[in-house]
A and B are shown apart, each in its own frame.
Chain A
Amino acid sequence: MRVGFIGLGVMGRPMAEHVLRAGHTLGVWARRPESAAPLVAQGATAYDTPAALAAASDAVITIITNSRDVEGVAFGPDGLAAGFAPGAVHVDMSTIAPEAARAFARRYAERGIDWVDAPVSGGEQAAQAGTLAIMAGAREDVFERVRPLFAAMGKTIVRVGEAGAGQVAKACNQMVMICALQACAEAMHLARAHGVDLAAVRTALMGGSAASRVLEVMGDRMVRRDFSAGIQARLHHKDFGILLDEAVKIGAPLPIAAQTWQQLNALMKQGWGYDDTSSLLKVLEAATGASE
């Protein structure tokens, strides 16, 4: 397949490499040409604009920051929409609001272009290993068309529903993960206040009903007090802004997510937005005057 890729950051670059290694023809576009260079060195072709990339691709994958960026790349001047041939597909793997994804799908449909929202979970590590969880919203036939691309990048690949459904699943994912992270931080904070060894608590919990991926990975970072990113906390803060805003629109109470959002606000105020979200432990410590 002729595949285009936009968004060659910590997540996007290894994902693009997997697509390339799976034998697809890869084209790339990057605002800063130096971001494209590692891919070009491996055989990808660089294009001058998203439109030019789209014109040379059957499918274009994007993984960028927010709805506005996706809109700019898709429908802005020299955007993808201007270059796509009818029947092409835009696979957006960014995390954006479900409503934005649905709107983009409608705008593309008017031009005979297909859309898949396919946000991912698993972080940088899974992106490198090609073991991402991919949750897709798209028409079934469109999803099946791009499934080989997903198979190159991920392990758990699920079509959740129509356009927007992938983003709904991602919102659920973020809610469960970050609320669990907050719970882990509170547990670690409690253990420490009692003067109990955090590593031992974590090990004990991992053998029982409280065991989770978050406790395993993020809990370990808390034990080692290694707060360098992982996934930058500011991105989770952004996600929670979207999540709670959607909750207003649909009239859904999310009491625990709302509390966790406030903790993330405090994390941002402390200037830890570029650190890992396990810094939520430090937010608790700051509130009670406990220090490292």
Chain B
Amino acid sequence: MNVGFIGLGLMGRPMALNLIRAGHALRVWARRPESMQPLLDAGAVAASSAADVAAAVDVVITMVGDAPDVERVALGPDGIAEGARPGLIHVDMSTISPEVTQSIAARLAERGVTMLDAPVSGGEPGAIQGTLTIMAGGDRDAFERVRPLFEAMGRTISYIGGNGAGQVAKACNQIVTGVGVAAVAEALNFARKSGVDAGAVREVLMGGFAASRILDVHGGRMVRREFQPGFKAWMHQKDMRIVLEEAHRLGLQLPTAAAAAQLYNAMVGCGLGEEDSVAMLKLFERMSGGQG
């Protein structure tokens, strides 16, 4: 398949490389040309703009920062819509708000472009290993057409529903992981401050009902004090903001997510934003009087 890829950061680059390895012809564009180089070395072709990417492919994938970035790349000057051929599918794998996704999808549809939202979970390791969880929303036939691309990047690939449904699933994922990281950090800090070995606590908990992927992976990193990203705390802060803005709009009570979001604010505020979200442990250590 002729595939375009825009957004070659921490996540996008390994995802794009996996597409090349699966035998797809890749056309890429990035605002900073140097981020394209690893892909060009692997055989991708450089385009001069998002429109230029769209003009020569069947599917364009975007993996960018936030809603305004997606909007600009899709609908802005030299954007995807300007270059699109009839029948183009735009797969946005960024994490943005469901509401904005629906609005972009509607505007792209007017210009003959079918949009899928397909945010991912699994972090950088999942992107490198091609084992991401992909949750998709949009037209079902379009989803089936691009499924081979998803299979090159991910392992658990789910069609959730119409436009925005993938982003809703991702928001749910962020509630569970955002709160989960805080719960695990709180428990391990509690163990340690109580004079108990946090590693041993984690191990025994993994045998019971508190067992979870977060306790396993993130808890393990907390015990080993591996705070380098990974998934940076400010990114989780951004995702919690999306969740709470939706709650505000819909009139929903999300008390636990709201509490966790304040902790991510605190992380960013005290200079832990560039570290992995597992540095939540450091925040709790500070809040309870140092590391000891």
Contact = CB atoms under 8 A, between A and B. Distances in A.
A266 to B, nearest CB: 4
B21 interface: no
Contact of B259 (A251, A252, A255, A266): A255
B250 interface: yes
A171 to B, nearest CB: 15
Interface in B78-114: none
B238 to A, nearest CB: 8
Contacts of B237: 248, 251
Interface string A76-120: 000000000000000000000000000000000000000000000
A114 B173 CA distance: 47
B262 A253 contact: yes
Given A244-B244, A245-B241, A254 B262 contact: yes
Interface string A240-267: 0100110110111111001101110111
Contact of A259 (B241, B248, B259): B259
B23 interface: no
Contacts of B273: 251
A269 B262 contact: no
Contact of A258 (B252, B262, B267): B262
A270 B269 CA distance: 34
B175 interface: no
Interface residues of A, number: 23
Interface size class on chain B is 20 to 34
Contact of B263 (A241, A250, A253): A253
Contact of B253 (A241, A247, A263): A263
A250 B273 CA distance: 12
B254 interface: yes
Nearest to B265: A253
Contacts of B245: 241, 245
B261 A258 contact: yes
A248 B267 CA distance: 11
A241 B246 CA distance: 11
Contacts of A253: 262-263, 265-266, 269
Nearest to B248: A241
B258 A259 contact: yes
A270 B251 CA distance: 8
Nearest to A250: B269
B251 A252 contact: no
Interface centre among B244, B245, B253 (most CB of A within 10 A): B253
25 contacts: A241-B245, A244-B244, A247-B265, A248-B237, A248-B241, A248-B261, A250-B269, A251-B237, A251-B265, A251-B266, A251-B273, A253-B262, A253-B266, A253-B269, A254-B262, A255-B259, A258-B244, A258-B258, A258-B262, A259-B255, A259-B259, A262-B247, A265-B250, A265-B254, A269-B251
Given A259-B255, A269-B252, 8 more contacts: A247-B265, A248-B237, A252-B265, A258-B258, A258-B262, A262-B247, A265-B253, A265-B254
Interface of B: 237, 241, 244-245, 247-248, 250-255, 258-259, 261-263, 265-270, 273
